[in-house]
Amino acid sequence: MMESIDSKYYKPLIAVVSEAEHGKTVRAVLERQLGVSRKLLSQVKLTEHGLTVNENRAYTTAPVVQGDIIRVRMEREISEDILPQPIPIQIVFEDEDLLIVNKPAGMIVHPTHGHYTGTMANGVVYHWEQKGERVRFRPVHRLDEETSGLVAVAKTSYVHQQLSEQMQANTILKLYRAYVYGIPEPAVGIVDAPIDRNPDEPHIRIVTPEGYPSVTHYERVETFRSNDGNPAASAVRLKLETGRTHQIRVHMQHIGCPLIGDKMYGSKQGAVEEWEEAASRQALHAETLGFKHPISRQWMEWHAALPPELILLEQKLRQ
């Protein structure tokens, strides 16, 4: 019987009722111990083994006693709308709950209109298929097509919910490295400038007083100057407090330091062809990702080295 359960459901979430929780409801214990959302509970309670107390099917409103073992089982799912493709993906970390991928520039995270194949999702789904895993693709966050670096993918709806809550609470560490024209002043600063769509070109974002709150922290790591001091460029480390579309690119342009190689938000005036060619795309890389693992509750952190094109750019800048 357990084999059929294991093949149909993911590994269960388990809560053991404490003395202080004696007499509480199933829902109250799961919310307190595991932070299980009501949406997830409403889904799992519809299946035979989705919600049990001592392996007997239970209601969310049922009272429990000390020592009771509550299990939450989520049904296994697959992304039926994503075509598995043997696309090379660099896996930085994987367990039964999480997948961390170092995405290259030029790759879209998830299929979109006009881009149904060749995405990171296609490669990840193929990877799981080859391992015999039945998992649905749930990216926790995304990177622009031309941005490289770390992307987290949740393997269950519970893990996705928990990481989304960490993102909303701004407790996930996301550090980026960028190469920009000019020298940001001061060396360490905050760009607090609301962002919204450009009403004339909706695919472009702009800083506008009517926009959504957007905050970027930056630190100037290194400056590069030619012999005559002009043009100049800087390596910058950035941390997002909010996660608006194109936020780093828009904010760096806003303070007069657009990203090297950024075709949408870069400035053609003053652009250095040699630097643009070396970068071959916007010079932005998600280099560090850290958060509390939703299951183990341990802090985990990953780092992705600069890709070859940005190493080449840095060499050109140092010349």
| CA pair distance 102, 233, nearest whole angstrom | 26
Conformation bin of residue 55: beta by default, left when phi > 0, alpha when psi is -120 to 50: left
Kindly tell me the burial class for residue 257, based on how many C-beta atoms sit within 10 Å of its own C-beta (0-12, 13-18, 19 or more): buried
Contacts 24+ apart (CB under 8 A), 131-134: 134/76, 134/77, 134/78
| CA pair distance 259, 267, nearest whole angstrom | 9
| CA pair distance 206, 77, nearest whole angstrom | 38
Contact 89, 101 (CB under 8 A): yes
Contact 170, 25 (CB under 8 A): no
Q: What is the mean pLDDT of each run of 10 residues along the chain (319 residues)?
A: 70 95 96 94 91 95 96 93 96 97 96 90 97 95 95 97 94 96 96 96 94 96 82 94 93 96 86 92 97 96 97 94
Structure tokens that stand for 132 in this block: 């015999």
Q: 144 an active-site residue?
A: yes
Catalytic residue among 6, 68, 81, 144: 144
pLDDT of the residue at 1: 42
pLDDT of the residue at 4: 65
pLDDT of the residue at 183: 94
The DSSP element (H or E) to which 230 belongs, if any, is none
Kindly tell me the burial class for residue 149, based on how many C-beta atoms sit within 10 Å of its own C-beta (0-12, 13-18, 19 or more): buried
The DSSP element (H or E) to which 163 belongs, if any, is helix 157-168
| CA pair distance 36, 32, nearest whole angstrom | 8
pLDDT of the residue at 86: 97
Domains and CATH numbers, the chain: 2-72 (3.10.290.10), 90-161 (3.30.2350.10), 173-318 (3.30.2350.10)
Q: Locate tokens 């895993």: which residue?
A: 133
